[in-house]
Chains A and B, each alone.
Chain A
Amino acid sequence: MANMKTMSFDAVIVGGGGSGMRAALQLAQSGYKTAVITKVFPTRSHTVSAQGGITCAIASDDPDDQWQWHMYDTIKGSDYIGDQEAIEYMCQTGPEAIFELEHMGLPFSRTEEGRIYQRPFGGQSKDFGKGGQAARTCAAADRTGHALLHTLYQGNLKSETTFLNEWYAVDIVKNEDGAVVGVVAINIENGETVYVKSKATVFATGGAGRIYASTTNAHICTGDGIGMALRAGFPVQDIEMWQFHPTGIHGAGTLVTEGCRGEGGYLVNKDGERFMERYAPNVKDLAGRDVVARSMVLEILEGRGCGPDGDHVYLKLDHLGEETLNAKLPGILELSRTFAHADPIKEPIPVVPTCHYMMGGIPTNVDGQALTIDEDGNDTVIEGFYACGEAACVSVHGANRLGGNSLLDLVVFGRASGKFIEKQLREGINLKEAREEDIDAAMVLLNRVNDSSDGENASVLRAELQTIMQNYFGVFRRGDYMQEGIKKLAELRPRIENVALEDKSNAFNTARIEVLELHNLFEVAEATAIAAEGRTESRGAHAREDFQDRDDENWLCHSVYFPAEKTIGKRPVNFTLKTREAFAPQIRTY
């Protein structure tokens, strides 16, 4: 590909959602030549769908609130495989990052004192679990993601970040030393393929909820960054850990914020019973998401589900009153009326646990540097390669993310990555230029797709993949089922590799993009399946019928999936805090 067009930047961020735009903002503000490659116009990124808020101890609702309490909640929520150093950094730095967003114009809702409004979310406590429910989630009504994403886009416009909008990154370019020196990307509008060269390549590519048939995630959440990393031979961490959000609208999958329960809503079964009182006597509907999702599935399995098929439960909000609902949850009213044909002012919303969030991802340190593991089991930095946001596993969410912590993760680690890359750029980054064969290596998939002729249809294969994941790797998992699922995936791989792209045109060819996305979905699905089967315990979101207990002796660690051998390794969890003693694992009850 000697004649391929090349564009050159100090830093390239792949992904225009919250973490990508926060990283880009940091770098562009410092005058570095920064580009964001994004397959959709930035404000169409999935961050826009975040509703309830961003959790952070800004001491507005409670002037005595402490970030240490937030740290405790997050570690407990993670079922003790969140890295404590990273969680400490996030909770401590969080307030600064939130105030910056506010100063940039984010239209937070307000308290009577004029401060940022905070609402209760699940898993939040005061005084290290001893002081009752906290209200720590900063909100812009129930459109916090929208407000945050637009504010960040606006900030980037002001700072003159270069946006390569509606460009699709296909694969990573590695130099002869194995360092990352950019990506090959397609300009979707005209089909042109470009080598986007960079001293620092940041993957902020978001999640991959579309590996499941039922998901709250946008169509675009296809795990592109994870797929690219795996094809480049890099490992992923804790990829078996998928969060099922308790309240997806039954049938449609669209999200209903945990903020509904934070504001006083609760779940009922077909008998009208508030069943969470049985599963989590202390905090009830505000237990961790994994706990609530499992309780709902048990209610349904035991015949207490609602509706003609008994396959969902109800979220009751009408008792909160029209005025509160209009003020605090206006977006939910719209969504429920549109997708559930239920007006929450008068009737409950039919909900069911729905795939929502990928806790795993590309392992990184707190500076956003992507890591691999060497032969002796030591962490090794992958030069030139960084990740943040949902695509990364830093890891602040461990086995179960707390509500409101994803938006905080985005801004804190987007910012941290940007700051660290700034420092590196100042000191000078010298990576060897990519050779022609290095770029060719990143063109293998695209060339194969462009040369395809007689394979199967992408949408059919995608549906098969999603069904396998839904059936064999859902809320409850079992060894023999998962082995069956892995077998089915193995049969699917050659069919997906041989998928046909009939339309070879260049102008806005979304068929080509969907074929490439399908390859990424498959890589994420396979890694998920193998890691899930390998973790022989129940922890956080990973609940096994054949291993019902948490096994700290063997599994108080990250799983690391290596794509070349398709094997699972282990990586120690960080238990070092800078400000106090680490939190030792406890039995996790709510």
Chain B
Amino acid sequence: MLNVSIYRYNPEADAEPYMQDFQVDTQGKDIMVLDVLEKLKAQDATLSFRRSCREGVCGSDGVNISGKNGLACITPLSEAVKGNKLVIRPLPGLPVIRDLVIDMTQFYAQYEKIQPYLINNTPAPAIERLQTQEERAKLDGLYECILCACCSTACPSFWWNPEKFIGPSGLLQAYRFLADSRDTGTEERLANLDDPFSVFRCHGIMNCVQVCPKGLNPTKAIGHIRNMLIRSAT
């Protein structure tokens, strides 16, 4: 039997959050953390968490697993259990709505701030806009972001300034459009980011890189944005 300790909080019933202990029969299999959550939900339907695709592409089930942010559906117990114990908490730094469900409003607000859509006001051709394979390759490692918030909620700068610092996820997406050969909004985008907080609160500690379940590198993208900002200032 696996010992599982889970963060519980129901605002209608609980004065404060607490950790609840469960035992789960995994039949010795190396199942995913999400499978454990589903087993617990069958035992106790009041346990709330988000999940959708169960294959690591929708970004619903970002949680803190034994101290590290990750997606429950693609984290096997062999990577998560320490001393026969699995500890699951909500992603840190954002308000908790209930149990493992966090309020992601601030996270999404930062995403919206970077104008996350292609800007190109030149008349579109009758077919697609052409883009070379080399130009398209610049978007690899950027467009794959699934907005799970594992990175931003692992970032102390985001914890301190969630209203003003865009955070690693939003900045990765900012660079996804800055790097797109089809986008003509570079000047506008950089002007939008040019303040002491939006980009420059990143201190390069790379927590984001360590936790990204898609293996992406926001710190590197932030470095590119910094360089572009510095170049545009001189």
Contacts and interface: CB of A to CB of B under 8 A. Distances in A.
A514 interface: yes
Interchain residue pairs A-B with the least CB separation, the first 10: A105-B118, A114-B130, A154-B117, A511-B45, A102-B128, A508-B98, A459-B42, A44-B58, A44-B52, A103-B124
B45 A104 contact: no
Given A116-B128, A219-B52, A459-B41, A508 B101 contact: yes
Given A58-B127, A99-B128, A104-B118, A507 B59 contact: no
A474 interface: no
Nearest to B117: A154
Contacts of A220: 52
Interface stretch (B136-144, B155-163, B203-211, B219-227): B136-144
Contact of A503 (B46, B76, B112, B146): B46
Given A157-B117, A218-B53, A509 B48 contact: yes
A433 interface: no
Given A104-B118, A154-B116, A457-B45, A49 B55 contact: yes
Given A58-B128, A154-B118, A507-B10, 16 more contacts: A40-B58, A43-B146, A48-B146, A99-B128, A104-B118, A105-B177, A114-B131, A114-B133, A115-B130, A143-B57, A143-B144, A157-B112, A218-B54, A219-B53, A338-B76, A460-B42
Contacts of B153: none
A37 interface: no
Given A113-B130, A116-B128, A459-B41, A510 B48 contact: yes
Nearest to B214: A334
A43 B117 contact: no
A420 B118 CA distance: 26
Contacts of B54: 218-219, 254
A534 interface: no
A339 interface: yes
A76 interface: no
Q: Which of B10, B55, B104, B117 has the most CB of A within 10 A?
A: B55
Contacts of A254: 54-55
A106 to B, nearest CB: 9
B58 A459 contact: no
Interface string B58-74: 11100000000000001
B139 A107 contact: yes
A58 B139 CA distance: 23
A506 B118 contact: no
Interface string A450-465: 0000000111100000
Interface string B103-146: 01000100010001110100010111111110110010001101
A63 to B, nearest CB: 11
Contact of B45 (A48, A98, A143, A514): A514
Interface of A: 40-41, 43-46, 48-49, 58, 95, 98-99, 102-105, 107-116, 140, 143, 146-147, 150, 154-155, 157-158, 189, 218-220, 252, 254-255, 331, 334-335, 338-339, 457-460, 502-503, 505-511, 514
Contact of A505 (B10, B41, B182): B10
22 contacts: A41-B108, A43-B58, A43-B147, A44-B53, A45-B58, A48-B146, A99-B126, A105-B118, A105-B177, A109-B136, A110-B135, A114-B133, A115-B128, A155-B117, A157-B116, A158-B117, A189-B97, A339-B55, A502-B46, A507-B97, A510-B41, A514-B45
Contact of A147 (B74, B127, B143): B143
Contacts of B52: 40, 44-46, 218-220
B56 interface: yes
Q: How large is the interface on B (under 10, 10 to 19, 20 to 34, 35 or more residues)?
A: 35 or more
B111 to A, nearest CB: 9
A503 B118 contact: no
Contacts of A457: 42, 45
B130 A40 contact: no
Contacts of A514: 45
B13 interface: yes
B48 A44 contact: no
B188 interface: no
Nearest to A220: B52
A376 B4 CA distance: 61
B57 A48 contact: yes
Contacts of B194: none
B129 A503 contact: no
Contacts of B74: 338
B132 to A, nearest CB: 5
B164 interface: no
Contact of A102 (B59, B97, B129, B146): B129
A76 to B, nearest CB: 27
A339 B135 CA distance: 32
Contacts of B120: 103
Contacts of A46: 52-53, 58
A508 B132 contact: no
A52 to B, nearest CB: 14
Contacts of A506: 12
Interface in B84-104: 97-99, 101, 104
A219 B73 CA distance: 12
Q: Which of A58, A116, A510 has the most CB of B within 10 A?
A: A510
